[in-house]
Amino acid sequence: MSILVNKDTRLLVQGITGREGAFHTQQMIEYGTNVVAGVTPGKGGEWAVGNTPVFDTVMDAVNATEANASIIYVPARFAPGAIIEAADAGLDLVICITEGVPALDMVEVRAFLDTTNTRLIGPNCPGIITPEEAKVGIMPGHIHTKGHVGLVSRSGTLTYEVVYALTSRGIGQSTAVGIGGDPIIGTTFLDVLQLFEDDPDTEQVVLIGEIGGTDEQKAAEFIANRMSQQVTAFIAGQTAPPGRRMGHAGAIISGGEGTAAEKMAALKAAGA
Amino acid sequence: MNLHEYQSKRIFAKYGIPIPKGEVAITPSQARDIAVRLGGPVVVKSQVLVGGRGKAGGIKVAQTPDEAEARADEILGMNIKGLTVKKVLVDQAADIRSEIYLGAVLDRARRRVVLMASSEGGVEIEQVAAETPEKIVTVAVHPFLGLRDYQARILAEGIGLPKEHTRQFIKIAKGLYAAYMGSDASLAEINPLVITGDNQLLAVDGKIALDDSALFRHPDLAEMRDPDSESPAEVTARRHDLNYIQLDGEIGCMVNGAGLAMATMDIVKFYGGDPANFLDIGGGAQADKVATALGIILADEQVKAVLINIFGGITRCDEVAKGVLAAIESLNADVPFVVRLAGTNEKEGREILAEANFPTATTLAEAAQLAVAAAKGEQA
């Protein structure tokens, strides 16, 4: 078992003919992910990345291939439309890798998603990997090994760092989920912790947070009251100067809310 | 990106929010001319992108044009928290009876734009939130519905606004929401919104912060950027899509990903070093971007060692390695480098560096320790 993606994931790639889309589709296929279709408006009927059929719309692709999840590599200005299109086509899971999506667009997207059954991961995230089953994202596959530790993180490369450390100590992972660092995201720590809690194959969880926002504090509450597994947490940005924005739109400390110290205290108190 | 007070208020005015009459001056004599045109007492206000201008002596009242010229002469060229004042806004002085606060901000937890009002105008809202949170009233706006009259009425009632002002307040609240949405702001606030002697609401001071990710659809707003509010290095970084913040330490850091960059800084500090900067080269950086990033780090004279930490996902290690070598060749760098490459194409990346006899580290901990030692002049 695992969460969100596995051998049965039939993946659709939105933006498959772009530079990043093509490169990472190749990497996902090499890892063993079942990539069934691509979508690039205007290129329907063509083939991309070997023998993956390309469609003009998500609806066409779903009808022809029974794709059940989508990953988005389109530029920021087209990403909100791509997410909405995927949700409107009825996909259960949409993962948006794109960074730099305007925050107010995401407010609209989230309000629309609330009316659907689609789960969005991201934007501005590395994606999801269930080792040896499916890599749906941009993470380097070879650093992962199959096992029983679930990871959830707001940061991309920092997650790789932790996975790499686990793997080199012989500790495998059930699923690693990058939820993204933007202020408005589709799936929060809380949602993913709930999924891990319900997954019999995940015995321990690593949570990787950073400064800004209060999602880690909410996660702490859930860990204290509901989680049966041991949770280990890391918060980046302990040495970040207050009031400065550290890249992620979310990583800004303001009004005494969201410092690394606060988050670490909350998680420690929760037994993490 | 933050807008100046005069820029923010001009945007407010476009959305029907009443602001004082005023103009911008860059010389004392211009300030005098504006005061003559406005007639009566004026306020001379420094236009710098920091808080606390009033306390620093950057906002002064003048009764006559002569006084306006003298005050502008004092304020122009003044240094406020490291920024030199180059412009003043000369506004007609308002007859202030009372002050309130009205702001719009994105609430991450509620995933909505929220309007906030408080009876405590003229004070920073963060301070009100910390000391008397009960004085802040908020309403969340559904993106498909927009701000409704009743919501503005809830705010007006909640802060005890006299009923005679409710109508004008609703108009201003809707104007502020429209300004926020129309400019893709991350923050828009009127502080204070004053009730004047003749019973009108007036936006005396204001601030807008824009969402940098949305600037592509607002070229007019993007042009408003004040180049003086950033260091030359920060300007270069922004033009090349790099996230760079200069700090006080001696170890230059180049990392991909904001989270990993922050963690790298934390680890440098853990091993007794001090990061000279935060620098995130972002995802998918090519060799030329890497070279630009290193150029920015090396231009900082405080830097005694450079730590490069790349964990490739969308970024390819071979591209980074090429960029590092190109930069070192063209910049004649004489500070020690510690490079740690892992992830996508790491083997190719390490081979490129090995061929150039370049030292590499395997783990972040090892790399951080080497960089700290190198900065202290010890053999890496």
Nearest-5° Cα angle at B113, B109 to B117:
100
Cα gap A196→B374, rounded to integer Å: 43
Note whether residue A131 is domain-resident. Answer: no
Whether A246 sits inside 8 A of B247 (CB atoms) is: no
The pLDDT of B301-329, averaged and rounded, is 87
Q: Which of A140, A213, A255 sits opposite B313 (nearest CB)?
A: A140
Label each residue of chain A as H, E or C.
CCCCCCCCCCEEEECCCCHHHHHHHHHHHHHCCCEEEEECCCCCCCEECCCEEEECCHHHHHHHHCCCEEEECCCCCCHHHHHHHHHHCCCCEEEECCCCCCHHHHHHHHHHHCCCCCEEECCCCCEEEECCCEEEECCCHHHCCEEEEEEEECCCHHHHHHHHHHHHCCCCEEEEEECCCCCCCCCCHHHHHHHHHCCCCCCEEEEEEECCCCHHHHHHHHHHHCCCCEEEEEEECCCCCCCCCCCCCCCCCECCECCHHHHHHHHHHCCC
Judgement on whether residues B88 and B165 belong to the same structural domain of the protein: no
Is B6 a domain residue? no
Within this chain, do residues B244 and B365 fall inside the same structural domain, yes or no?
yes
Q: Which residues of A touch B255 (CB under 8 A)?
A: 157
Predicted pLDDT of residue A248: 43
Per-residue pLDDT of chain A in tens (272 residues, 90 and over written 9)? 799 999 999 999 999 999 889 999 999 999 999 999 999 999 999 999 989 999 999 999 999 999 999 999 999 999 999 999 999 999 999 999 999 999 999 999 999 999 999 999 999 999 999 999 999 999 989 999 999 999 999 988 899 989 999 999 999 999 999 999 888 999 999 999 999 999 999 999 999 998 877 888 889 999 999 999 999 999 988 887 765 554 443 443 333 457 788 888 888 887 77
Q: Which residue in A127, A142, A234 sits closest to A176, CA to CA? A: A127
Give residue B379's pLDDT: 52
Final residue belonging to a domain, choices A67, A91, A124: A124
| CATH number of the domain enclosing B258 | 3.40.50.261
Residue B38 near residue B90, CB atoms below 8 Å: yes
Check if the beta carbon of residue A50 is closer than 8 Å to that of residue A25.
Answer: no
Cα-based distances in Å from B68 to A42, A141, B25, B65 = 62, 66, 11, 5
Total domains in chain A come to: 2
For chain B, how long is the longest CA-to-CA vector? 78
Chain A residues close to B242, C-beta within 8 Å: none
**Is B3 domain-assigned?**
no
pLDDT at A254: 38
Q: Give catalytic residues of B, as residue numbers.
A: 101, 189
pLDDT score recorded for residue A243: 54
Which of B130, B102, B248 is closest to B189 using CA atoms? B102
* B256 and B363 part of one domain: yes
CATH number at residue B44: 3.30.1490.20
Torsion B77-B83-B87-B90 (CA) sign: negative
**Beta carbons within 10 angstroms of residue A147's beta carbon:** 19
Pairing mode, strands B59-62 and B42-46: antiparallel
Comparison of pLDDT for A245 and B47, the residue scoring more: B47
> Please, what is the average pLDDT of chain B?
91
- From A68, A99, A124, the end of a domain falls on A124
Full domain range(s) for residue A208: 139-272
Do A68 and A116 sit in the same domain of this protein?
Answer: yes
Euclidean distance between CA atoms B13 and B8, whole angstroms: 9
Q: Are residues A193 and A64 in the same domain?
A: no
Contact residues, chain B, for A152 at CB < 8 Å:
none
What is the Cα–Cα distance from B40 to B63, expressed in whole angstroms? Answer: 7
**Does residue B10 form part of some domain?**
no
pLDDT of residue A256: 41
Q: Which domain holds residue B32?
A: 21-92
- Torsion angle of the four alpha carbons A133, B320, A238, B367, in this order, in degrees rounded to the nearest 10: 100
Boundary-marking domain end, from B33, B60, B92: B92
CA distance A106 to B331: 41
Name the nearest CA neighbour of B339 among B225, B328, B331.
B328
For residue A183, what is the domain's CATH number? 3.40.50.261
Residues A210 and A113 in one domain: no
Q: Could you tell me where the DSSP H helices lie in B159-271?
A: 166-182, 219-222, 232-239, 258-270
Predicted confidence (pLDDT) per residue in B158-188, tens digit: 999 999 999 999 999 999 999 999 999 999 9
- DSSP code at position B163: G
Q: Nearest C-alpha of chain B: how many angstroms from A197?
A: 22
- Give the pLDDT score at B41: 97
| Alpha helix ranges (H) inside B226-363 | 232-239, 258-270, 287-299, 317-331, 346-355
Task: State the complex-level ipTM.
Answer: 0.88
* R_g (Cα) of chain A, nearest Å: 18
pLDDT at A91: 97
Domain check: are A151 and A220 in the same one? Answer: yes
To which H or E segment does residue B152 belong? helix B149-158
Predicted pLDDT at A257: 54
- CATH assignment of the domain containing A84: 3.40.50.720
Q: What is the pLDDT of residue B312?
A: 82
- The continuous run of DSSP H or E covering B36 comes out as helix B28-38
**Mean pLDDT throughout B294-302?**
90
Q: How many CB atoms lie within 10 A of CB A203?
A: 15
Residue type, A260: A
User: What confidence tens digit (pLDDT) does each residue in B119-157 have?
Assistant: 998 888 878 887 888 889 999 999 999 999 999 999 999
The CATH number covering residue B138 comes to 3.30.470.20
- At B2-44, the pLDDT tens digits run 999 999 999 999 999 999 999 999 999 999 999 999 999 999 9
Cβ separation of B108 and A213 shorter than 8 Å?
A: yes
* Interchain CB contact of B187 with A (< 8 Å): no
Q: How far apart are CA A108 and CA A257, in angstroms?
A: 25
Residue ending a domain, among B192, B222, B252, is B222
Distances (CA, A) of B88 to B2, B6, B17: 17, 9, 21
For residue B347, the Cα-to-chain-centroid distance in whole angstroms is: 39
SS3 B373: helix
Distance (Å) from the C-alpha of residue B147 to the closest C-alpha of chain A? 14
B145 at A interface, C-beta within 8 A: no
Shared domain check, A156 and A87: no
Q: How far is CA B86 from CA A115, A143, B10, B54, in A?
A: 51, 53, 19, 16
Q: Distance (Å, rounded) from C-alpha B104 to C-alpha A147?
A: 46
Residues of B in contact with A237 (CB under 8 A): 262-263, 266
Do residue A272 and residue A160 come from a single domain?
yes
**Nearest-CA distance A264 → chain B (Å):** 14
Q: Is A248 a catalytic residue?
A: yes
pLDDT in tens, B332-380: 778 888 999 988 888 899 899 888 887 788 888 899 999 999 898 865 4
Nearest to B49 by CA among B86, B112, B3, B94: B3
Has residue A134 been placed in a domain? no
Token pair of B254 as six digits: 């180049």
